[in-house]
Structure 1
Amino acid sequence: MQSPWQTRNAFLTDVALEDFDRISRTVPAIANIRPNGTSAYLMEDFDCAGGLPALMKRLEPHLHLDELTVSGLTVRGNLEGAQVYNDDVIRTLDNAVSNEGSLAMRKGNLAPRRLRHQAQRDEREVPAAQRPGGGVRRLAIGGNLALVKTGDIVGVDVPNRRIHLDVSDDELARRRAKWTPPAPRFERGYGWMFSEHILQADQGCGMDFLQTQFGATAGEPDIF
């Protein structure tokens, strides 16, 4: 299954992180499955309960039902006949697992809109106990994450969409002045290509040379 960011890249749609955050604030989470649910239900249970068509049927008030899809039918047409077979797995809107969705786009001095490649290039693993809010799996070398030290306080405010390292700008500047970038991990092969061309998560996590604006296609070869 593609992530929302991969979908954005595939359909060349100009969707911002703020759009996902806005939708997450207004559309309830009704799939009662791990890790969002309150029970032991798994994806298999979700499929048996009606799957994605049943979920979308319950979310119809939030969907653009007259939009045409790749099936040749509208969203409304695709959902005709969809049924929910277990109301505890796929909840109703008035009995949602949560009144908001599971995405929260947090910003702050640990999560600014990074420069291209910065979040994916030259990374090193971070122990789970040191991951701010449990959501950062890797430390991007060169950003403020690279300057975090054991004992620093990281504030995570989900309702206000904020993540902040409680260290003064002067102290961060001193740490940055002493910081030395590590040698590149890859000098050739796929690892090098990945580090040079991978896009940010909100851009689809694809390769930049696959985007149409990167350059013209070569066209189909002549067939003799």
Structure 2
Amino acid sequence: MLDESSGLIAACRRADQGTLDLAGLARSARSLSRELRVLTGIDAPDRWSHVRPAALARVLRMARNAVDLTVVDAGFCLDEGSDANRCRSAATTTSIAEADAVVAVVAADHVGIGRFVAAWPTLQELTSERPVHVVVNRVRSRAVGRDVTGQIDEALRRLCGITETVLVVDDPETCDAAIRDGRTIGEVAPRSPLRVAFASLADRLAATESLRILVQDSAA
């Protein structure tokens, strides 16, 4: 979710100035419901320089004191590359350092799986002993072939040693409806396989105490 004025940058600016408190964090966030608030993101690569690692760490720690659960959509950037990527990579690695659990999202096609396999050793180093929950996203048989579940599980087990995954089916109609109506998947299609997969992931995450969750998308 993006906004003309990034809530994340506003919160990090307060952290840099030493003025970040619970009230300031709340002012930086957008309230979507009684239970859900969001710090809107960054819409241009050059703006990542406004998110310094130390400031971001303070924002995440303040968020942990403010709410029961913090979820960070950290994108895919684990390597530095250009200056813009270096800033985004620093934000991702800082978020991983502050997380109690990581959700790694893999695109369910040959390219996405290949990218994930290449990034997996780096992600393991960054997460150390903390759990990584692997989610294979937009699973469709024609992208991989017959027995798509078996092929994906076998590839991740053989190449990464991963034995448990959550497979999320490709359901563009439900996703489009949720985006169009500004509602969650659970509200749009509570009995859909897509929602069932998300519920399965939530059950796994609920078993981790004191969660500060990072969603790390290797498929972006």
Shorter-chain TM band? under 0.3
Whose helix fraction is larger, Structure 1's or Structure 2's?
2
Whose strand fraction is larger, Structure 1's or Structure 2's?
2
User: What's the TM-score, normalizing by structure 2?
Assistant: 0.23
Q: Which has the larger radius of gyration?
A: 1
User: What's the TM-score, normalizing by structure 1?
Assistant: 0.23
